[in-house]
Amino acid sequence: MANDLTNFVCREQNFWVRLKTHTVVNDFAPEYDRFKHDASGTVVRRVSLWVAETVDGMPAIQYYLGSVRKCNGGGWLSRSEVWRLFRRATVVALRTGEDVQHFRNRLGSYLRVHFSQEPHRKPTISDYTGRNSRP
């Protein structure tokens, strides 16, 4: 039986990174606002994803899919992390009883929309298509 009650839940973090000196400043640090515009480094976004199911009308996080990093300066996305995310998505889809291809398509759409947004901008419902419209 297909489960239409799954939804993606994400947590986003930004890091300012200067590889030459191995300096990393997290977005929760007070110095981050000063460093994020510094051209000697770049901002890297990390999105961690979970799958929540609705149980008795309340969302409950059930499965961890993984995290993906994207560099805002160069635009690269970690391919190995994306592959790992989709492998785990296949396992989760089988466990929840959802069609694997449909689940992977929803995940791909979610990631495309999420990474097309500016950091810390909350996506709106109109940014997404389909039933799974909230991060």
Predicted confidence at residue 88, as pLDDT, reads 95
What pTM value is reported for the model? 0.72
Higher pLDDT, 1 or 100: 100
Read off the pLDDT of each residue in 122-132 and give the average, rounded to a whole number. 48
Instruction: Map out the domains of the chain as residue ranges.
Output: 6-117
Higher pLDDT, 77 or 124: 77
Predicted confidence at residue 60, as pLDDT, reads 86
Q: What percent of the chain has pLDDT above 70?
A: 81
Report yes or no: 24 and 16 within 8 Å, Cβ to Cβ.
yes
Report yes or no: 67 and 81 within 8 Å, Cβ to Cβ.
yes
Per-residue pLDDT reduced to its tens digit, 8-60 = 888 888 888 888 888 888 888 888 888 888 888 888 888 899 998 887 878 78
Predicted confidence at residue 92, as pLDDT, reads 93
Tokens of 31: 């110095």
CA separation for the pair 122, 125 (Å, rounded): 10
Cα separations in angstroms, 46 against 12, 14, 72, 96, 114: 6, 6, 11, 26, 11
Contacts of 113 (CB under 8 A, 6+ apart): 123, 127, 128
Read off the pLDDT of each residue in 109-122 and give the average, rounded to a whole number. 70
Beta strand pairing call for 58-71 and 6-18: unpaired
Predicted confidence at residue 130, as pLDDT, reads 46
